[in-house]
Structure 1
Amino acid sequence: MKSSFEKADFVLRLLTFVAIVIGGGWTAYQYKQTGSADWAINMRLETEILPYRDDLRLLVVHVRSKNPRNYVFELNRDSKDSFELRFHKISSDLKANVILDEENGQLIGKADLMQGTGGGYAFLPNAEMDDMRYIVLPINTVVEITAEMQIHNGDADEQGKPDVDFISASTIARVNP
């Protein structure tokens, strides 16, 4: 006949085993639901206008990108991935109530945010990156700024075109006197 201690020990071992199985099943379920191989980047733009000289100002743009996932996410130039910052000048003679799409103005500048990375760009788990670029602009210029990251998945879609995922962030800045 087993002692009370042996029975309690058996029950505790059984409960521990059940907890491990349930925890493992829940982890696998969450992993599948959140996209086991999917990537995610949170991106935002911050701007600052600094004096430069005469009627020119520096428009400083910080592209802040955060990898919220618990694994490394990489961009690879060999796979045709890209990470760009574009500046479009917004016309100064628009009529009231005109609605424009993003990147509708004249392209006045473009920066490759992967330049100088050796062809790759790694986002470590939960890491936040700050890519800063600036452009010299005359006062009273209004620009639309777009940061865009494109990832080629290596496959083709239904129309035979490359399967590309992207994320972008945009903002408007006015170069004040």
Structure 2
Amino acid sequence: MFKLKLPFPPSVNTYWRHVGNRVLVSKKGRQYQATVSSLLHRKNLKTLEGELIVDIRLVPPDRRRRDVDNSLKALLDAMQFGGAYFDDSQIVRLTVEKHQPEPEDPHAEVILQNIPAPIGKAGFRSCLRCDEAFVSTGPGNRICENCTFLNALLPDVMPIERGRKYHNGERMQ
């Protein structure tokens, strides 16, 4: 299992450029690939084989509206270019979360691990709370025993009201 902190990826809207009849990776895209590749080579990571699970947490630089899927192509291609895996077709499970912006440190946190069991069967999963791999009893079991125990110790809280709109912390009518 690898835990990586990579620069925030460029959008797919700026990743490709049309030159005549050809479609090429843009200069910005090639620079991102080179940066990620050098970071991966400095860590001396062994290229992963077989089916993979990839968990991504995107921390954008600002509050602009962004689709999470627009960042995936550049990020996954750069990790393949850097040698984290042979081909992104090896990825059988991909989760992506977008977090609050951090202008001083925009980044993408990536957890990359092999999957020893087919999807939907009992096997290893990564805990949604602590990111550690654990033996799971099936697809509904996504939190390890330690985190389940810690969750049971937390006090009960009011449920979150879904569908309410907020702006700058104030409820909108």
Give the TM-score category using the shorter length.
under 0.3
Which has a greater percent of strand? 1
TM-score (norm 1): 0.27
The structure whose Rg is larger is 1
